[in-house]
Amino acid sequence: MSRDLDFAIAPVNAGRIADVDRSFILGMDRHAVLASERQALYRALAAVDPGPIRAEALKLAGQLIDGAAELDAIGGYARLVAANTAHRLFGITGPGDEHLFREAVRSVFGHTFLNLSGDEQVRKRAIRAATLMQEWIGADIALRRKARDPGVDMLGRLIASGDLDDEGIARTLAGMLVGSIDTTASAVGKIVAMIGRDAALMDSMSKDCADLKTMRGWCLEALRRWPHNPILLRRALRDTELGGKTVAAGDKIILWTQAAMQDESAFPDAHIMRPDRPAEAYLHFGGALHSCAGRPVNDWQIPLLVAELLKRGIASVGKIGWAGPFPDSLPVRLAP
């Protein structure tokens, strides 16, 4: 991942990203546009106060759990909270139909990053969804431009900074939105699935559920067993070597991050679950030039969602139901 001048991401995703008419920074290689837009993104994200957003996520999680005997930990919990956080953080109002909002975002994500077989139906669905997203974001930008105060979310911060034009703002927000909801939902679902398979892990995590910093470590460890995204793809730009092997220009490179996170040189006693490992060792959210821009949100939202379930008590965990490549449902029976 650190050798971005040898192994590029644009040849992997650029065509599918072009289909949805947005040059997300996740589809760009080292370039002046990437540098300026990434800097603007990080500045705007850092300027947003996460406190109220986090408090709202905690409140919504509690409302979904309270009084429930059984809960769908993905579609009826994590995905709902993550979508609400996306509204509040990015400043994207959406259509007023939350199901449509979530499905449109998932459709664009599914084609852009997961449609490796080139399924035409997936592509067409993503193009329709992208048109809707562009309309929603464009309408929000226009309204904020007319307002005296552009707001304190990412949209407001991007407008106030003047770093990007409207097209750059729309591109930045769309890229963040596409990667936000189902990344969180998939991660939470797989963590809870791991908890359901391992009573010792559930017991250890339950003891630490009041400490979100330690919970974050436990969540990273659980994902090391079953990552939300077990591989990353790159394309070789030139003839080179990797791990002592010859790589030709144009070769596809598959980075099996799940296997890498079992490497004893990076994870001593890799078979043991430890929440105190250095966070920088994990590969769940990319790295180097293409580290996930949403990591600051992942760092609190994923452990918060898992912790709230553990505080209530998990009696049993069923099997994940899938919607194509996406974890879509996970029945969890809660303690009385």
Residues 64, 80: contact at Cβ < 8 Å? Answer: yes
For the ranges 32-36, 108-112, 164-168, 216-220, the maximum mean pLDDT occurs at 216-220
Q: Output the DSSP codes for 130-181.
A: HHHHHHHHHHHHHHHHHSSS--SSHHHHHHHH--S-HHHHHHHHHHHHHHHH
Give residue-wise pLDDT tens across range 237-246: 999 999 899 9
Domains in the chain: ranges and CATH = 10-231+257-334 (1.10.630.10)
pLDDT over 90 (residue 261):
yes
What pLDDT score does 18 carry?
80
Q: Please provide the average confidence, as pLDDT, over all residues in the chain.
A: 93
Give the mean pLDDT of 319-328.
97
Helix (H, G, I), strand (E, B) or coil at 71: strand
Q: Is 288 left (phi over 0), alpha (psi -120 to 50) or beta?
A: left
Q: What's the whole-model pTM score?
A: 0.93
CA atoms within 13 Å, Cβ hemisphere of 134: 15
Residues 215, 307: contact at Cβ < 8 Å? Answer: yes
pLDDT band at 292 (very low <50, low <70, confident <90, very high): confident
Give residue-wise pLDDT tens across range 52-102: 999 999 999 999 999 999 999 999 999 999 999 999 999 999 999 999 999
Percentage of residues of the chain with pLDDT beyond 90: 82
Residues in the chain: 336
Query: Sign of the CA dihedral 314, 318, 323, 327?
Result: positive
pLDDT band at 2 (very low <50, low <70, confident <90, very high): confident
Residues 107, 160: contact at Cβ < 8 Å? Answer: no
Give residue-wise pLDDT tens across range 7-66: 888 788 878 888 886 666 666 767 767 778 889 999 999 999 999 999 999 999 999 999
